[in-house]
Amino acid sequence: MPQIKKAAVIGAGTMGSGIASHLTNAGVPVVLLDLPREGGGDRSAVARGAVERLLRASPPPFMHRDNAALITPGNLDDDLHLLADVDWIAEAIVERIEVKRDLYRRIDPVRRAGSFVSSNTSTLPLSMLVEGMPDTFRRDFCITHFFNPVRYMRLLEIVAGPDTRPEVIDVLTRFCDVALGKGVVPCRDTPGFLGNRVGVFALQAGLVEAAAQGLTVEEADAVMGRPMGIPKTGLFGLYDLIGLDLMLDVVNSLAAPLPDDDPFHQVAPGIPVVRTLVAAGHTGNKGGAGFYRTREAGGRPVRDAVDLASGEYRPAKRPVPDAARAGERDGLRALVEHPDPCGRFAWRVLARTLSYAASLIPEVADTPLPVDEAMKLGYGWARGPFEMIDALDPAWFRERLSADGFPVPPALEAVAGDTFYRVHDGRIEQRARDGYVPVERAPGIQRLTDLKRTRERILGNDVASLWDVGEGVACVEFHSKANALSPQSMAVLAQSVVRASEEFRALLVHNDGAHFSVGFNLEFALDCARRKTWSALETALRDFQDACRACSYATVPVVAAPSGLGLGGGFEVLVHCDALQVHANTTVGLVETLVGVVPSGGGCKAMLHRWTQDARDADEAQSGALRVFDLIGKARTAVSPQEARPLRLMRDRDRVTMNRDRLLTEGKALALALADGYAPPAPPAFIALGREGMAVMDAVLDDLVAKGIALPHDVVVSRALARLLCGGDAQRGTSVSEDDLLALERETFIDLASTAATVARIEHMLETGRPLRN
Ligand code: NAI
């Protein structure tokens, strides 16, 4: 089967540049072409400027800045010949059919016969795009619809035309899944495909119902966010993020091809204030203001929100509606049954959206799965529409729809007293036209969430669990809020190591939450500091260290497969595993100094070992220890494995997975590969750097103070860190054991936690999510 070894992207705007940079993340060289810049100078300035913008963008589109060198910028007048040797041409130019067709006519004669061509169109039907094109072109053509930002949004919708060769779809599906890490959902050639058809409907229904129920912008976002299992950006926040003007275009182009009786037309007009805001230039985040804006007042940022009736800005509030609280505590049904306007809003948005999704079967898909996948992968919903109907209870949902005068779609009638998904004979099945069929995923795609539905938990508590994931591998799952690690989480980790050593061949540490772990539970640390219960803190730290050490010295291999954030204590778990299978967007680092403490789960010790293990004497160990001083002192993080490796936050033996849904399978395979003849490592020994070492670190610190980079409490924290890394009071050149260093970690943590400035840092982080500079 052919491979994608070289690609071209045409159109260097938002999407084209995003696709190009992400291709380089997969190691694929890319030709990036846009219109020529006329009037002298660099004719490829558009594409070249796009690469420069990519390097400045946040969150970073490149997994490493060096990847930019894999992009060859060019222009469509002078560089068309560069298309002759590429395997895939991805078109991402303006959404105008004639412009796209014109481009296809120009590229067809120069491209290699049999190379693939795809369009990133959001709304234009494939049938129209290829009208008048030769058969050879139609056979090589499909739609690959990426979402913005390309590196981070997981959904890729792929659409084949009647003439598209199966090989085009097969190769691109596999490549986009494995190499680009996308959740590939095959779609029919219907308007808006799956994600936008339902997602844009939900947004518009949200606007209409928020206004109808008299909700404020903030109230609507507080409800149509976490309580519904939707990202906390919410409704109006997402509108601001996408851009109000772009949304007007998207809604129009989505509505245009839909038949008159499609319910989308009822919500498409939205609310008048959108046009008022756009007319005033308030197009959302990119325009500096939208439904929300941030302004300076008295030297501080103040957030405003728009009054939906008057269109005027007023200071924003942070409401926590009762309905939202009920929903978060007791689930979706409690949210939509809540009698206040926020509850009514939730009900009416979901009634409209979920019944619309159900009405699209079988037009857009034969079964619920692709629709649910599209919403989860493309819009970040925790559950897809059909999973939400199951959570509400389909029979209840149907009755309530009828009672409130909403039409009941046939797919919902057909599911009768059952649910759209069920577990049967140890498998997850979904409702199809004539009964249930198994939920099939591509080989290697596996989610812990699915697996758990068909297994009994081995052990666990409210915040962590151990599962049997098959083939002799057990898996520890953290499942607290943001997977902050408490003594209870670590107790399960420690028990799991024991259990795995007795009954399994290997242990995996993995979860499919948004984040592997954001670190040690700060609330616990703060509570100890406020009540001065130092012995409780000492015990918790010791237990944390023991659980991490248990991972290192288990008699079976322990492999972690993280994604999202693996910070602080979360990273300390990772650093004690034998190997990692890391998702390519994972951010790792020891960030404890930001809250005025030092890593104390063995993180200082482990990083010191990584940087000094080959040193023969204190002089050789000195430079490695300085690197660790820099790494931990500055709370450096790496946003990809490519960045993590040079910092030794990841090692050569660690592996990378682009698709999160492959982490479990690939992590398990890595663990099993290590299992045969496995022997745990010997405990490390360290060389004390003594007072001389601390003096070197002090000099670095003095320089940071002189430059205004290190603030007073940074100095306190860094001095304590330096002492720890140099082996405390031990004489330079003497040997320091692992136990000594772990004791120093605990002592340093507790010393720092007893300072008012550290308590202030922790409080600030818990309140705002941002570090306090003091
Ligand atoms: P954009 O406006 O950011 O970029 C379009 C690029 O096309 C510009 O660099 C422009 O110079 C270039 N261009 C214009 N006319 C051209 C021509 N005749 N030949 C070659 N290049 C030409 O647009 P964006 O947002 O990147 O959209 C590109 C495509 O991706 C569209 O089809 C859009 O519907 C689709 N899309 C956009 C998403 C988004 O969030 N912006 C999401 C998913 C799909």
Structural element, H or E, at residue 428:
strand 427-432
CA pair distance 197, 679, nearest whole angstrom: 53
Record the pTM.
0.93
Protein residue whose Cα sits closest to atom 43 of ligand 1: 147
Which residue in the block uniquely carries the two structure tokens 């495909």? 193
- At 381-397, the pLDDT tens digits run 999 999 999 999 999 99
CA of 91 to the centre of ligand 1 (A): 9
CA-based nearest residue to 237, from 303, 182, 161:
303
CA of 11 to the centre of ligand 1 (A): 6
- The verdict on the CB of residue 496 being under 6 Å from ligand 1 is no
- The verdict on the CB of residue 253 being under 6 Å from ligand 1 is no
- The verdict on the CB of residue 539 being under 6 Å from ligand 1 is no
- The verdict on the CB of residue 63 being under 6 Å from ligand 1 is no
The best mutation among 35, 80, 94, 254 to test binding of ligand 1, ranked by most ligand atoms within 8 Å of the C-beta, falls on 94
CA of 571 to the centre of ligand 1 (A): 39
Q: Which atom of ligand 1 is least distant from the CA of 103?
A: 19
* pLDDT at position 1: 67
pLDDT beyond 90 at 574: yes
Q: Which atom of ligand 1 is least distant from the CA of 93?
A: 7
CA of 262 to the centre of ligand 1 (A): 28
* pLDDT at position 180: 98
Pick the more confident residue, 123 or 431: 431
Q: Which of the residue ranges 220-234, 285-299, 617-631, 724-738 would you say has the lowest mean pLDDT?
A: 285-299
Confidence class for position 755, pLDDT limits 50, 70, 90: very high
CA of 50 to the centre of ligand 1 (A): 12
SS3 769: coil
Upper half-sphere CA count for residue 359 (Cβ side, 13 Å): 18
Q: Could you tell me how many residues make up the chain?
A: 774
CA of 349 to the centre of ligand 1 (A): 31
- The verdict on the CB of residue 15 being under 6 Å from ligand 1 is yes
* pLDDT at position 677: 95
* pLDDT at position 350: 98
- The verdict on the CB of residue 149 being under 6 Å from ligand 1 is no
- The verdict on the CB of residue 34 being under 6 Å from ligand 1 is yes
Average pLDDT of the residues in 609-626: 96
Average pLDDT of the residues in 13-29: 97
- At 152-196, the pLDDT tens digits run 999 999 999 999 999 999 999 999 999 999 999 999 999 999 999
Task: Supply the DSSP symbol for 424.
Answer: E
DSSP code string of 201-223: HHHHHHHHHHHHTT--HHHHHHH
- At 78-131, the pLDDT tens digits run 999 999 999 999 999 999 999 999 999 999 999 999 999 999 999 899 999 999
CA of 93 to the centre of ligand 1 (A): 4
Confidence class for position 2, pLDDT limits 50, 70, 90: confident
CA-based nearest residue to 32, from 46, 99, 158:
46
* pLDDT at position 406: 96
* pLDDT at position 287: 84
- At 628-654, the pLDDT tens digits run 999 999 999 999 999 999 999 999 999
- The verdict on the CB of residue 92 being under 6 Å from ligand 1 is yes
Percent of the chain with pLDDT over 70: 100
Cβ 454 vs Cβ 427: under 8 Å: yes
Cβ 675 vs Cβ 506: under 8 Å: yes
Cβ 553 vs Cβ 680: under 8 Å: yes
- The verdict on the CB of residue 774 being under 6 Å from ligand 1 is no
CA of 129 to the centre of ligand 1 (A): 15
Cβ 342 vs Cβ 219: under 8 Å: yes
- At 717-743, the pLDDT tens digits run 999 999 999 999 999 999 999 999 999
pLDDT beyond 80 at 273: yes
DSSP code string of 560-579: EE--SEEETHHHHHHHTSSE
As to burial, measured by CB atoms within 10 angstroms (0-12 exposed, 13-18 middle, 19+ buried), residue 252 is exposed
- At 659-715, the pLDDT tens digits run 999 999 999 999 999 999 999 999 999 999 999 999 999 999 999 999 999 999 999
CA of 196 to the centre of ligand 1 (A): 17
pLDDT beyond 80 at 343: yes
- The verdict on the CB of residue 245 being under 6 Å from ligand 1 is no
- The verdict on the CB of residue 12 being under 6 Å from ligand 1 is yes
Q: Which atom of ligand 1 is least distant from the CA of 146?
A: 43
Q: Which atom of ligand 1 is least distant from the CA of 246?
A: 41
Q: What are phi and psi of 359, to 5 degrees?
A: -70, -15
Cβ 437 vs Cβ 430: under 8 Å: yes
